Structure 1
Amino acid sequence: MPATNDSGRLFTIVLVTSWYSSNIGVLLLNKYLLSNYGFKYPIFLTMCHMTACSLLSYIAIAWMKMVPMQTIRSRVQFMKISALSFVFCASVVSGNISLRYLPVSFNQAIGATTPFFTAVFAYLITLRREAWLTYITLIPVVTGVIIASGGEPSFHLFGFIMCIGATAARALKSVLQGILLSSEGEKLNSMNLLLYMAPIAVLLLLPATLFMEENVIGITIALSRDDIKIVWYLLFNSALAYFVNLTNFLVTKHTSALTLQVLGNAKGAVAVVVSILIFRNPVSVTGMLGYTLTVIGVILYSEAKKRSK
């Protein structure tokens, strides 16, 4: 029996490590491509991610049978998934645009305010109120980002607005997902949801990248002739983007919701440290204090939510 427990614990450790590595890896590689490498095409990059998610989701579900395939039951359900896909696209594209202008550490600090936006959208859309204590815990979350913004040496207004937009869109997607796919007949697990959302995202992103990022495909082909590494970067980055979703699903399945929250909070802090070590972007004491305050606020928020249930 202990051997089974040990192997189960080892499997969970491997899963969590894979989740962290893929999450932080895709973030750092996006930053490297968009900022350091000079591949200034965030919409095309997101489209590559979604293309990989479409193909690999189909392989994982239809061929490898990792989860049973769930079918779309109605046109209404399809429209709901399409709406979610649009919001999902907006969040990923905005996040990638922000990485062109902001260091990963500051990007993560802003991303930590997701609970604030989730609470705001949940109230605006469903009029569902949380306990007062839950709202009070959001004060350090927002205050921390305001302090971090004031102390950020690499602050960029447009990048900041894009990052706030990405965080808000991410929160909106989670609230809408809870509302739109709440009935038993419409619920999809995250792997099946990605299977349907990713191809819709590609169809949304293709005209956007062709219109807004002129001749991006021609430029990428020309770049690959000069440096074949760009092809491998894009392929690896896109596969990693799918792996983020796969490991997130598996970690959710094999751990509790509370463990996932704790791991999620710690993941942002790990990403900040790793990005500073790799990119050596300047950080100020004020910025780190602000980020620390935000993380403490998120932990308190998680606790308050748990107690109010």
Structure 2
Amino acid sequence: MLEKVKATAGTRMFTVGLVGAWYFSNIGVLLLNKYLLSNYGFKYPIFLTMCHMTACSLLSYIAIAWMKVVPMQSLRSRVQFAKIATLSLVFCTSVVSGNVSLRYLPVSFNQAVGATTPFFTAVFAYIMTVRREAWITYITLIPVVTGVVIASGGEPSFHLFGFMMCIGATAARALKSVLQGILLSSEGEKLNSMNLLLYMAPIAVLFLLPATLLLEENVVGIAVALAREDTKIVWYLLLNSAMAYFVNLTNFLVTRHTSALTLQVLGNAKGAVAVVVSILIFKNPVSVTGMFGYAVTVLGVILYSEAKKRNK
């Protein structure tokens, strides 16, 4: 009996450790992105995203092929490869847009806008699959959008271009999740999230490389020059890229060791924690109106999740 209690306690501690690592990597990469792109002055979001995807390519291969974190899943056909390439392009759009938005918006407002993902997911699911949810589910989306409208009006650091990029990132993230369900729906094509990242990340690098060379001219030379002046930039980029991979790894492990409901609750709380931590670190001005708007959005997301669960 005592051994069983110890085993249960050990499992709980392991799960708590995983959740802590998930929070740390998620919030850490977000704050470091903001620091590099805004405070430090490394204004190259496409190159930064390419660094992330390069790290994800290498570390995914090490985790799956060498460490056997999950079994390797091979691609079955060229059609499946084309579907993954499409997902990769949408994924790139989401990450680049999100990084661009961090140049102009504080993390707190970025998280408020990002919380509207369920709204865009519902819209794309309806447009692309003509799948209707129960009417109560759509009603819960009203506070999700209303909260962001309120937060936008009360945001002292509001920037229109940054806001548009953040909306684009949120919409692309939702589109990717809907497309993934459609394109990889058959049993023979389904991949777990770690194997999907293994194939998506190198394709993303191929998309991002020409975009970096065309849109961020001489960024490699600038990065090398910066490294000669301040070697900390090298460590920042390496840490930032590694954390971008661990966001995906810890998300997969937390999903495996908790329930879907627990994951939703943890995800909502994570956004709130990120907001508080970012305000404490960057000391960006916030208003009561803005925080109220964010609270309304989070409440809407919680109600939406509950409505979805009850109507399954």
Q: Which residue of 2 aligns with 1:87?
A: 90
Q: Which residue of 2 aligns with 1:105?
A: 108
Asked if 1:36 is matched to 2:39, the reply is yes
Q: Which residue of 2 aligns with 1:254?
A: 257
Compute the displacement of 1:136 (Å): 0.2
Compute the displacement of 1:53 (Å): 0.1
Q: Counterparts of 1:117 and 1:30 in 2: how far apart (Å)?
A: 24
Counterpart selection for 2:132 from 120, 129, 133: 129
Q: Counterparts of 1:265 and 1:301 in 2: how far apart (Å)?
A: 12
Counterpart selection for 2:306 from 292, 303, 307: 303
For structure 2, the residue ranges without an aligned partner over 5 or more in a row are none
Over the matched positions of the two proteins, sequence identity in percent amounts to 84
Q: Which residue of 1 aligns with 2:294?
A: 291
TM-score computed with the length of structure 1 as normaliser: 1.00
Amino acid in the other structure paired with 1:289:
F
Compute the displacement of 1:229 (Å): 0.3
Amino acid in the other structure paired with 1:308:
N
Q: Counterparts of 1:79 and 1:65 in 2: how far apart (Å)?
A: 26
Amino acid in the other structure paired with 1:216:
V
Amino acid in the other structure paired with 1:154:
S
- Cα deviation, 1:240-266, whole Å, max 9, x if unaligned, reads 000000000000000011100110011
Amino acid in the other structure paired with 2:86:
A
Q: Which residue of 2 aligns with 1:184?
A: 187
Q: Counterparts of 1:41 and 1:149 in 2: how far apart (Å)?
A: 26
Q: Counterparts of 1:251 and 1:65 in 2: how far apart (Å)?
A: 17
Aligned residues: 309
TM-score computed with the length of structure 2 as normaliser: 0.99
Structure 1 vs Structure 2 CA RMSD: 0.3
Q: Which residue of 2 aligns with 1:20?
A: 23
Q: Counterparts of 1:49 and 1:9 in 2: how far apart (Å)?
A: 31
Q: Counterparts of 2:101 and 2:230 in 1: how far apart (Å)?
A: 25
Q: Which residue of 2 aligns with 1:266?
A: 269
Q: Counterparts of 1:210 and 1:253 in 2: how far apart (Å)?
A: 39
Compute the displacement of 1:6 (Å): 0.2
Counterpart selection for 1:195 from 193, 198, 201: 198
Compute the displacement of 1:82 (Å): 0.1
Amino acid in the other structure paired with 2:158:
F
1:153-192 aligned within 5 A: 153-192=156-195
Q: Counterpart of 1:73 in 2: which secondary structure?
A: coil
